[in-house]
Structure 1
Amino acid sequence: MVETPTLRRPVLLLAVLGPLTAVAPLAIDMYVPGFPGLGRELAASRPAVQLSMSAFLIGLVAGQLVIGPLSDGLGRRRLLVPGTAAFALLSACCALAPTAPLLVGGRFLQGCAGAAGLVLARAVLTDRFAGPRLPVYFSILAMILGVAPVLGPLLGGVIVTASGWRAVFWALTALGLVLLAATWLGVPESLPPARRSPGGLRQAFGSMVVLLRQRAFAGYILALGSAAGAMFVYIGASSYVFQDGYGLSAVQYGMVFAVNAAAMLAAGAGFGLAARRAAVPLLLTGYLTVGALGTLALAVQATLAPTLAGTWVCLAITLFGVGGVFPAVTTITQTIGRARAGAASALSGGAAYLFGALAAPLSGATLRTMAFVMLAALALAVAALLAARPWRPLLERSFV
C-alpha cells in the first residue's frame, strides 16, 4: 500500500472519523429535552413523539446493514461523502417538519444516512491499520461513542432552552456540513479497487451471511448485542430509579450518570493500553466477567437491601465492564472479517443498536426490574462468549 499523508499521521484521520462516529449517537437523544414543546407544537401524543426516536434507531440499524456491505464492493468514500451530505440535508428536513408523521419519516431517513459515518469509520480503520495499533484506535472510537449519549441531552437542553426543539436539528445540520467538508478533505479512499468484492448487491449482502455462519464471529456479535442491550436498559430506567426511587434531583442524577459514563470511558482507555500487552479475547473475557458480576451484585442488593450507594457502585462496575466489551468485540470481529470489513462493521454496529432498541422497552421503572433485565442480558452475553470459544489459540495468536 502506498502510504498517504493521512496514513502517516493517523491522528488527523481519527480527528475526522471520531466525530463521524459520534454524530448519529449524538442525534439519538439530543432533542429529548424538547419533547414537551415538540408535542405541543405538532399536536402529537407522547407515544407519537417517542416514535420519532424509535424510527431513528431503526434507520440507524437498517442503514448500517445496507451501507456496510455495499462499501466492500463500491469503496468507502463513494458512500461516506453522500451519506454525510444526506445526514445534513435530512437534519434540515426534520427542523422544518410541519407534522409529527413527517418528523418520524425524516428521523428514519436521518438515521439511515447517519449510519454511514458510524459503520464506515470502523471499516476505514480496518482497511488502514492492523496489529497492535488497531485496538488502540477502536478504543478511541468506543470512548467517543460513550461520551456522545451523555453530551446529547446536556447539549440539547442548552439549545432547546435558548431556541426551541427545531434549533437542535439546525445544529445537527451545521454539524453535518462541517463533517462533510472534513470528510471530503481528510478521508481518502481506503479500499483500492483491487481489494474490493465483486458480484454486486447479491455478493455484498451474502458476505454478511458468510460471516454469521462462522461460529466465533456470530458468538462475538451476540455478546456485543447483549451487552449493548444491558446498557440501553440502564439508560432507559436509571432516571426513574435514581430520581423517583431514591429522590435525587435532576442535577444529582446528572452527576450519577456522568460518573458512570466516566467508568465506561476509563474501561475504553484501559483496553487501548492493555491490548498492547495482552490477547484481546482474554481482555474481553475479563471485562465481560466484571460487568456480569457487577450486575449480579446489583440484582442481589436490589432484592435484599437496596441502597443508593450500593446501586450506584454496582452500576459503575457493570458499565466499566460493558465499556471494555465494545472495543474488544469490535477489534475481534473486524479482524476476523478483515476481507469484508464493511459487512463486519455493519453486523457489529447493527447488532448493538438492534439489541438496544429491543431491550430498552423492557427496562421498566423500578430498580429490581432494571437489575434483572440487565442481568439476563449479560448472562446471554456470557453464554455467547462461551460459544465463541475465546480461548482458541488461533484467535489469541491473531492479537498479540
Structure 2
Amino acid sequence: MNSRSLVLVLAGLSAVSPFATDMYAPGFPRIADSFGVSGAAVQFSLTACLVGLAAGQVVLGPVSDVRGRRGLLLGGSGAFAVLSLVCACAPSVAVFDVARLLQGVAGGAGIVVGRAVISDLFSGVHAARRLATLSVIGSVAPVVAPVSGGLVLGLGSWRLVFVALAAAGLALLGAVWRWVPESLPAGRRGAGGPRAALRATAGLLRRRALVGYLLVMGCGLGALFAYISGSPFVFQEGYGLSPAAFGLVFAVNALGTVAAGAAFGRLAGRVRLHVLLGVGVAVTAGSMGTLVALLAAGVDTLLLTWACLFGLTSGFGVLLPAATALALAAGDDAPGAASGLLGGAQFALGAAAAPLPGMLGGGPALSTAVVVLGFTLLSAAAFAGLVRSWPYG
C-alpha cells in the first residue's frame, strides 16, 4: 500500500463535497436570475446539500463498519458524478434542490468512509497527522471552492461548475479503484447487519466526551458555512467587489487555514490535542467577537472585516483537525459510526447555519458576523463543558 497515494485520494474525497457545497457560491445571483427565484431560495439549495451530507454520513458511516469501506467509496464517487450532471441540466429550482440533496448523500460517503479508513490503518500520532491532512483540506476546500467557481463562471454559465464537479467525481472513482484497498477485512467487521451498526451509533451518543467533541466541531462548521453562505453578499454587494476580487479574498483566507493546519501537524504529538483545540476555539470566537464589536460601533471597512475573517479561517485550521482526532479517539471501537456522527454533526449544524445570514436584517457584514459569532460561542461553550473531563489525547 502506498501511504502517500492513499492519503491523497482520501484527501480528494474529503474535498470534493465541500467543493460541491461552495464552488457555486459566486454564481448565486446568476442562478437566482436563471430560475427566476430569490437569493434566499438559492441559499436553500446549499442547505439541501448539507442535509444530504449529514444524513449520508450518519447512515453510511456505521454501515461501512458492517459492509466494508471500498464498495461504499466506489459507489459514492460514481453517484456523485451522475448527480452533478443532473444539477448541471436541472430545468427548475425544484429539480436542482432534489439533485443537490442526493448529491450531498453521495458525497458524504467519501468523507465519512475516508476518515474510517485512516482509523483502520493508523493509530496514535500517525493517525492524528493524517486526519489533520484530511481536516485541513476539508476546511480549506469550502474556502477555496468559491475561487475556483469564480474562475469557471468567467468562462460561461453557472452550469459549468457542476460539469466540473462531475469530472472530479469520475476522476476520484478511478483513483479509489487504483489506490484505495479494502481496509476493513471481513473478519474485523461488525456482526448483526446495519441495524446492529446503528445501535452501536446510539451507544456512542451516550459518551459525554464524544458528544462534547461533536458539538465543538459541529458548531465550528456551522460558523464556517454561515461565513461561506453570507460572504458573497458581504463582499460583492456590501463592499462592491467583483467575483474575481471576491475570489482573491477567499484565497488569502484559505492561506490562513493552510498555515494553521500545517502548524497543527507539527505540534501534534508535542502539545496536547486538548490545548490545541482550545487555541482554535479561542481564535475563532475572538476574531468574530472583535468583528461584531467593530461593526456595532460603526467601524465597517473592507480591510478590517477581511482581517477578522482571516483570523476566523486561521482558527479553523487548528480547531477542526484537533476536534476530529479527539472525537475519533473517543469512538475508536467503532470508527465508521464515530466518523458518521462527526460528519452528521458538522453538516447538520452547517445546514442550519447556511441560510441564517440572509434572514437577518441589517447590513450583510453585520448579519453574517452575528450568525458566525453565535456559532463560535456555541463551540466555545461545548469546549468549556469538556475542560474538567479530558479522558483522551
State if a TM-score over 0.5 links the two structures. yes
User: Over aligned residues, Cα RMSD in angstroms?
Assistant: 2.3
Question: What is the SS of the residue equivalent to 2:354?
Answer: helix
Quote the offset at 1:341 in angstroms: 0.8
2: CA distance between counterparts of 1:171 and 1:177?
10
Q: What is the CA–CA distance in structure 1 between the aligned matches of 2:284 and 2:340, rounded to whole Å?
A: 25
Alpha-carbon distance, 1:253 to partner: 3.6
Q: 2:228 aligns with which of 223, 232, 235?
A: 235
Q: Does 1:158 align with 2:154?
A: no
Distance change >3 Å, CA 283–CA 391, structure 1 → 2: farther
Q: Percent identity?
A: 44
Q: Structure 1 pair 390/253, CA: closer, same or farther in 2 (3 Å)?
A: farther
Contact 1:282 1:390 in 2 (8 A): no
Output aligned runs, 1:238-257, within 5 Å: 238-257=231-250
Normalising by the residue count of structure 2, what TM-score does the alignment of the two structures yield? Answer: 0.91
Question: Contact between 1:223 and 1:384, CA under 8 Å: does it hold in 2?
Answer: yes
For residues 28 and 309 of structure 2, what CA distance do their matches in structure 1 show? 27
| 1:1-400 superposed matches below 5 A | 6=1, 9-35=2-28, 38=31, 46-308=39-301, 309-363=303-357, 364=360, 365-389=363-387, 392=390, 394-395=391-392, 399=393
Q: Hey, what's the Cα distance between the residues in 2 that align with 1:38 and 1:243?
A: 15
Structure 2 vs 1, CA of residues 272 and 160 (structure 1 numbering), >3 Å: closer, same or farther?
same
Amino acid aligned to 2:230: A
The structure 1 segments of at least 4 consecutive aligned residues displaced by more than 6 Å after TM superposition are none
Shift of 1:327: 0.4
Partner of 1:3: none
1:376 offset after TM fit, Å? 2.3
CA offsets per residue over residues 43-74 of structure 1, 9 Å max, x none?
A: 55555544333222211111111111100111
How far off its partner does 1:312 sit?
Answer: 2.8
How far 1:362 moved relative to its partner? 2.3
Pick closer, same or farther for the CA change 1:259–1:228 going to 2, 3 Å: same
Distance in 2, matches of 1:169 and 1:241, equals 24
Deviation at 1:101, TM superposition (A): 2.3
5+ residue gaps, structure 2, are none
What 5-or-longer segments of structure 1 have no aligned partner? 1-5
Residue-pair matches, total = 388
Distance 1:48 1:380, change over 3 A: closer
Determine if contact 1:127/1:338 at 8 Å carries over to the other structure: no
Shift of 1:245: 4.1
